[in-house]
Amino acid sequence: MDQAKQNEVFHDRAQALGFEITYEKFPGIHEWDYWDTHIRDVLRWLPD
């Protein structure tokens, strides 16, 4: 099972167990341009 599918399975199982999960999927690969774009969103999402 590839990493993307493992993430989806984990997300679905965690939700089924009652956990509140934030899971967003974007096109691209884990390279610098991808992370440079999305790390800003993660940092804004984290609590102070």
Average pLDDT, the chain: 89
Average pLDDT over residues 3-16: 93
Q: What is the rounded distance in angstroms from the CA atom of residue 18 to the CA atom of residue 14?
A: 7
Q: End-to-end CA distance of the chain, in Å?
A: 36
pLDDT at 15: 96
pLDDT tens digits, one per residue of 13-34? 999 999 998 888 888 887 888 8
pTM of the model: 0.64
pLDDT tens digits, one per residue of 32-45? 888 888 888 888 88
Domain count of the chain? 1
